[in-house]
Amino acid sequence: MLSHFTFRPIVLVLLVLLVPAPLLRAAAPDNQAAKAANKILKTGGKEVLKEYQDDLKDAFAVFEIAADDFADEVLDGNFFSGTFNDLVDALALLQDTVQDDQEQAAQDFGAVTSFEALPEFEAQGGGDGNDLMGIYPRGFYPGAGGLVDDFYEDMEQVTAKAYAKAQKALRKLAVQLEKKAGVALTTQLFVPTPHPRVAADEGTVIFQTESTDIDFIVTASKLDTTGNGMIGVGGTGAGPDLEVSAGTMSDLVDPSGGRWSTTEFAVDEGVYELRLSDDASGQTIQELTLGVR
């Protein structure tokens, strides 16, 4: 029995010594170096987020002016296709601006990560003095629940709050137009997608590709007249022509510029399936619903 307890530690030592060298992982990041890098990333992230908040505020302020102009025109009795087109253009500009602001914020944060925080981590003794070999502080990895994830979660919350505020204002505007001008207005605003999450590796910023989506829908109609509905739809995309269809609406849009929008007039009242598809293959990309009152 005594010999058994004497022999076990020797076996364990031999097992460690026999592990092949390639299986041994590099040492964990130095704690002081990690603290220095985390401080830069946290401070830089706050600065980028504050600038993004300011940019969003400016973008929605510009749209608010356009929405007020639309309301003034309708209340003055100018409910025409040109007036509606101005509102659609304002929505497209808002979405395009927000998307640009999102991408810029993600790129700026990626630059802080890759070109400021990680070099400081290496300078403070993280890594082997030549290449970090992908071994970073925990919070630098997407999905690890650290500073990188915190930044994008905060960014999404800021964006969602801005859109909720804008949608609430549009609901109030719709009530006003219906009560005072007999005009029904419906709006659906979506955050431009994908919400960019730029990954950063040592010396590299990895950009996310753009997807094809509808991100705003607006309809308007006079409640005392039938068959006079107006539909405006817009979104993002890349690649071949897209078909936007809803009821009798069937429009081709060119997404090569990154953003597209289209309108349809003299639409009957009803709730319609809105379909975005690839014109060449007919494959459905997205399906939503819209209503014309």
Q: Domains (ranges, CATH) in the chain?
A: 30-182 (no CATH), 209-293 (2.60.40.10)
| Least confident among 13-22, 76-85, 227-236, 253-262 | 13-22
Predicted local confidence at residue 275, as pLDDT:
96
CA–centroid distance for 172 within its chain: 26
Tens digits of residue pLDDT in 123-139: 888 765 556 777 889 99
Higher pLDDT, 152 or 5: 152
**DSSP symbol at 115:** I
As a whole number, the mean pLDDT across the chain is 87
As a whole number, mean pLDDT of residues 40-47 equals 97
pTM of the model: 0.84
Would you state the structure tokens that stand for residue 82, as one six-digit string? 């040109």
Indicate if the pLDDT at residue 47 is higher than 60.
yes
At residue 73, what are phi and psi to the nearest 5 degrees? -65, -45
C-alpha 155/C-alpha 149 separation (Å) is 10
| Least confident among 40-54, 166-180, 239-253 | 239-253
| Least confident among 48-52, 60-64, 194-198 | 194-198
Of the pLDDT bands very low, low, confident and very high (cuts 50, 70, 90), residue 230 is very high
Strand runs (DSSP E) across 148-283, as ranges? 183-189, 199-201, 204-206, 213-222, 229-236, 242-246, 249-253, 259-267, 270-278
Q: Which residues have CB under 8 Å from 265's CB, separation 6+?
A: 81, 84, 228, 229, 230, 231
Q: Which residues have CB under 8 Å from 144's CB, separation 6+?
A: 138
Tens digits of residue pLDDT in 161-194: 999 999 999 999 999 999 999 999 999 999 987 6
Predicted local confidence at residue 125, as pLDDT:
83
Predicted local confidence at residue 27, as pLDDT:
46
Would you state the structure tokens that stand for residue 69, as one six-digit string? 């102009």
Would you state the structure tokens that stand for residue 230, as one six-digit string? 């107006």
C-alpha 293/C-alpha 291 separation (Å) is 6
| Least confident among 15-19, 53-57, 187-191 | 15-19
Predicted local confidence at residue 24, as pLDDT:
39
Strand-strand pairing, 270-278 and 259-267 = unpaired
Predicted local confidence at residue 133, as pLDDT:
76
